[in-house]
């Protein structure tokens, strides 16, 4: 492997593809037509029994947006914006029922606009944006490059060991950081974002597969596992426990949660860097010269500069508040305060923030998806879908129903851009369905549902908070992300059921 003598400083955030006024080139035209065709064909089909016509129209538009995100004829933010705008314009027919429209004083145009902009007030959306700004600070000060070089010097002889370094870092932070966006997107990503450039692996470029794609996928897959492994590693876990307590009168302790997931969780964490190495292999496997080169580059950088130390203090402040201040200050508030301090201390400039097109593109993309996913629940599609599944469960053995409902709960996360929204909308429904099955072990069933919340985040580029950060890195192309999400999603849920069900039987169901 050749050593870059003057490594190119890869821009922190890949510029979003420009949306040109001219017609799309032939190679992209079919990608633009397919999502529209999917939406139109679905809309022309009669709605399934029990689902309102306006809800079916909304689902047709949602399906078209998802297909668009897969094919990417335009940047994700543009696709999401078009989807939300379409719903807002057609709101009287796709967002509101005749009963809503008949309410005295109800103005669908105003209500639709409020709904369309609701995603931009979502705290997770702004926490994701904050993660990009943290990464910007790492690049501007050189601290990210310094840490990356140190990692390469110690563990850079093999790409596989870099994967394990990322896994260990996330696992150590997970029990104390109830936001996986803060943990992975705001702490892990800004550091590893500097690693690919050291191997001449560039975003939005064929060289992304040299090492960048591998490291980024290991990071997002790892944080999904640790989010399920610890009750306190993901905020929706705590919400789920509260809902289970209220709905099914079942409670879990931190240790009960950990013991239930630990066998499969440890297996997954050990396997992730290796399985990714097999299924999404990096082109750079090892290079004995690179650690020596990294040591030389560190020497050239000299001692820590004052700006690097200032950023280090701010990052430690944010991490400390994320870990220990969750009851006092919201994680997103922490990120915004630290960004403000970065501006005041001139760690980054306002121009730097304004020019970070990937951050703004991701903010628009995720905010519009949050609104669209909320719309699915608003029009009643989610409840109808869950009830339809439940109606087909009568007559089956309790164990079979339990496994089937857990799989349905996991797979339906394709419909959500937030795990919190998924928990709120579907968990009570699934618990209610389970309670109607004679002989159902409700404590075991409830715990199984809850333990899938983290690992379902691997499914899509919008499935959990850090997902848009890694998707927006430029190292995981859309087609690769969707394929990897499906493959690893299958691996995760299969391993989870195969290992956890027998384990629960051994430890007495809990």
Residue 487 has pLDDT above 90, yes or no: yes
Same domain membership, residue 194 and residue 58? no
Domain end, chosen from 67, 95, 121, is at 121
The answer to whether position 1 is within a domain reads: no
Higher pLDDT, 398 or 25: 398
> Residue 389: pLDDT above 80?
no
Q: Is the same domain home to 288 and 332?
A: yes
Using pLDDT thresholds of 50, 70 and 90, give the confidence band for residue 343. very high
- Of 332, 357, 382, the last residue of a domain is 357
Q: Are residues 199 and 313 in the same domain?
A: yes
Report pLDDT for 349: 92
Same-domain check for residues 106 and 133: no
Same domain assignment for residues 317 and 369: no
How many distinct structural domains can be found in the chain? 3
What gap in Å lies between CA 382 and CA 429, rounded to an integer? 10
Give pLDDT, residue 290. 65
Distance, CA of 472 to CA of 477 (rounded, Å) = 9
Q: Assess whether 281 and 248 both reside in one domain.
A: yes
* Residue 14 confidence (pLDDT) above 50: no
Q: What are phi and psi of 286, to 5 degrees?
A: -165, 165
Is residue 342 very low, low, confident or very high in pLDDT (cuts 50, 70, 90)?
A: very high
Q: What are phi and psi of 158, to 5 degrees?
A: -130, 140
Specify the pLDDT at position 495. 97
Looking at the fold, whether 476 and 488 belong to one and the same domain comes out as yes
In this structure, the answer to whether residues 167 and 236 fall within a common structural domain is yes
12 inside domain: no
368 and 260, same structural domain? Answer: no
- Domain assignment present for 477: yes
Say if residue 347 is in the same domain as residue 375.
no
pLDDT band at 5 (very low <50, low <70, confident <90, very high): very low
In this predicted structure, the answer to whether residue 400 has a pLDDT above a threshold of 80 is: yes
Confidence of residue 475 (pLDDT cuts 50, 70, 90): very high
Give the pLDDT confidence of 208-240 residue by residue, as tens digits.
999 999 999 999 999 999 999 998 888 788 878
Structure pTM? 0.73
Domain range enclosing 440: 362-507
Give the pLDDT confidence of 68-87 residue by residue, as tens digits.
Answer: 877 778 887 888 899 999 99
Q: What is the pLDDT of residues 49-68, one digit of tens each?
A: 889 999 999 999 988 888 88
* DSSP character string of 267-307: HHHHHHHHHHHHHS--S--B-THHHHHHHHHHHHH-SPPHH
Q: Is 9 part of a structural domain of the chain?
A: no
């Amino acid at each position: 492997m050749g050593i870059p003598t003057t490594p190119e400083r890869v821009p922190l955030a890949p510029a979003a593809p420009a949306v040109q006024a001219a017609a799309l080139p032939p190679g992209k035209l079919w990608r633009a037509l397919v999502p529209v065709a999917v939406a139109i064909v679905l809309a022309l089909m009669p709605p399934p029994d029990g689902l309102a016509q306006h809800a079916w129209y909304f689902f047709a538009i949602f399906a078209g947006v998802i297909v668009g995100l897969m094919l990417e004829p335009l940047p994700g933010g543009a696709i999401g914006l078009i989807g939300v705008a379409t719903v807002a314009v057609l709101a009287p027919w796709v967002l509101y029922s005749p009963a809503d429209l008949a309410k005295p004083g109800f103005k669908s145009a105003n209500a639709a606009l409020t709904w369309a902009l609701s995603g931009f007030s979502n705290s997770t959306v702004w926490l994701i944006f904050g993660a990009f700004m943290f990464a910007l600070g790492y690049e501007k000060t050189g601290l990210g490059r310094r840490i990356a070089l140190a990692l390469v010097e110690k563990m850079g002889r093999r790409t596989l060991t870099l994967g394990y370094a990322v896994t260990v870092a996330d696992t150590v932070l997970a029990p104390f950081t109830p936001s996986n966006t803060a943990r992975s997107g705001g702490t892990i990503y800004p550091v590893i974002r500097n690693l690919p450039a050291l191997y001449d692996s560039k975003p939005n470029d064929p060289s992304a597969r040299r090492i960048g794609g591998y490291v980024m996928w290991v990071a997002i897959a790892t944080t999904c596992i640790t989010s399920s492994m610890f009750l306190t590693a993901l905020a929706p876990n705590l919400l789920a426990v509260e809902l289970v307590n209220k709905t099914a009168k079942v409670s879990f302790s931190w240790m009960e949660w950990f013991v239930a997931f630990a066998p499969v969780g440890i297996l997954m964490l050990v396997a992730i860097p290796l399985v990714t190495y097999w299924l999404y292999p990096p082109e750079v496997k090892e290079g004995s010269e690179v650690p020596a080169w990294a040591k030389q580059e560190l020497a050239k950088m000299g001692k820590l500069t004052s700006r690097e130390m200032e950023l280090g203090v701010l990052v430690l402040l944010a991490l400390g508040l994320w870990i220990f201040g969750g009851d006092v200050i919201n994680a997103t508030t922490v990120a915004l305060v630290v960004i403000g301090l970065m501006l005041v201390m001139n760690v980054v400039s306002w121009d730097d923030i304004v020019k970070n097109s990937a951050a703004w593109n991701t903010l628009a993309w995720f905010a519009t998806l949050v609104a669209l996913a909320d719309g699915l629940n608003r029009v009643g599609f989610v409840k109808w879908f869950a009830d339809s599944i439940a109606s087909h469960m009568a007559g089956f053995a309790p164990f079979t129903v339990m496994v089937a409902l857990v799989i349905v709960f996991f797979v339906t996360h394709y419909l959500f851009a937030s795990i919190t929204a998924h928990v709120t909308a579907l968990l009570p429904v699934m618990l209610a369905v389970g309670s109607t099955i004679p002989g159902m072990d409700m404590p075991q069933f409830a715990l199984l549902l809850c333990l899938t919340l983290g690992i379902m985040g691997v499914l899509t580029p919008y499935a959990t908070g850090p997902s848009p950060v890694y998707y927006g890195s430029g190292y995981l192309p859309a087609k690769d992300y969707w394929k990897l999400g499906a493959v690893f999603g299958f691996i995760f849920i299969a391993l989870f059921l195969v290992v956890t069900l027998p384990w629960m039987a051994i430890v007495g169901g809990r």
